[in-house]
Amino acid sequence: ERVTMAPAFRLSMRPAVSGNMQQFLVDFSGQRAELQRLHFLPVPAAPRIDASRCVVRDNSITVVWGPIGDGDDGGSGPIERYELQYRKADCDSLLKAVAEASWEKICDIRETNVTISGLKFDSNFVIVRVRARNKAAAGDFSEPVSMETRAFHFSLDASTAHSELKVLGDTVTWEPQGVKGPDPRLRGKDNKGSRSNTPSPNKTSAGRPGRFAGDSYTVLGDKEMSGGCHYWELRPLADWKSLSVGVAYRGSLSRFDQLGKSSCSWCLHASQWLQSSLSAKHNNRAKMLDSPLPHRIGIYCHHDNGNQGAHGRWSDGTT
C-alpha cells in the first residue's frame, strides 16, 4: 500500500566498480522502472460545507458537508476520513479572525458530519473548515464557514454578590463566614413595618460589601437585557446543595429579596439539602416540578415577547 523510497533503493541498488578502481558506478535503471510502474494517488478535492444544514444549539455545533464522489475526487481514490478545524472569532471574516484564536482539530471523522459539543459560546462566531484524506495524503481545506453562536455574553458582577458568595470568573461558591445573628436592618424592617430602614439596592453599607445581604444569596450578571432572545446555562458543581437561576427587572430586587419572591422576578430553584426538589418560582409562589435534578440548567428569555423558559439536561442525555 505504501512505498518507502529509501529502503527500496537500499535493497535494489547494484553498485559496480570499474576495472581500474577509479570509478564507482550505480545502476538506477531498476529503480526507474519501478517508479514508472507505481501509481501515485492525487490528493482529494476540498469538501463543500452545507451551511443550510449546519446547526448551532445547546452549546454544540453540528457541521455537515457534502461527500466527495467519483465526479469530484479527480481519481484520488476512496476517502478514508475527514479532519475538521474550528476557531472562535468575534467577526465572520477569516482574515480578521486569524490572530484571535488558534485552530482546534477533530481528526478521524468517518462520516460527512460531526457534532462539536461542550462549547462555551463566548464569541460571536465559530469558523469551521474541513478537509478529506485518502490513503495517500490530506487534501485542501474547504472554504471556511462562519456560524453565528447567538449567545448572550455576560459575566458575573462580583460587586453585587452577597458577602458569603465567592465569585471567581463564572463560578460561584458559598463560603459562610460563621454563625451570625439576624441582620439588625432586617429586624428593624419586620418590627417597624416600614421600608425606611431598608438600604437602597444600589448602595452598600460599611462592613458588608456587595449589593445583597441577609438570606438573599444572590449575584447579578454584569449586563442587562434590553431586547431580543437570550440563552444561558448553569452547571452545578459536584458538591452543590441549593441554587436558583433566573431573571429580574432592573432595580426590582432589594438587598434582602430573593429571585421569585416578587412579581418582577422569575427563577428555577433546585435543592438537595434534605431531599431533592425542583421548582419554578414567581411572585412568591412555587410550583413543584415532577422531575429529577438535572446536571445542567438552561434559561431562555425572549425579552420582546415577555417569555422565559427553562430546560434541564440529565446525565442520560435527555432534555
Question: pTM value?
Answer: 0.54
Query: Same structural domain for residues 68 and 143?
Result: yes
**Nearby residues of 294 by Cβ (< 8 Å), 6 or more positions away:** 270, 278, 312, 313, 314
Q: 306 lies in which domain range?
A: 158-313
208-263: per-residue pLDDT in tens?
A: 446 888 888 899 988 888 877 777 778 888 888 888 888 888 778 888 888 898 88
20-70: per-residue pLDDT in tens?
A: 777 777 777 777 787 777 777 778 889 999 999 999 987 789 999 988 754
CATH of the domain at 277: 2.60.120.920
CATH of the domain at 139: 2.60.40.10
Domains: count for the chain: 3
Which helix (DSSP H) or strand (DSSP E) does residue 12 occupy?
helix 5-12
158-209: per-residue pLDDT in tens?
A: 888 998 988 988 888 888 876 444 444 333 333 333 333 333 333 333 334 4
Query: Same structural domain for residues 307 and 163?
Result: yes
Burial track 185-223 (b if 16+ CB lie within 10 A, e otherwise): bbeebeeeeeeeeeeebeebeeebebbbbbebbbbbeee
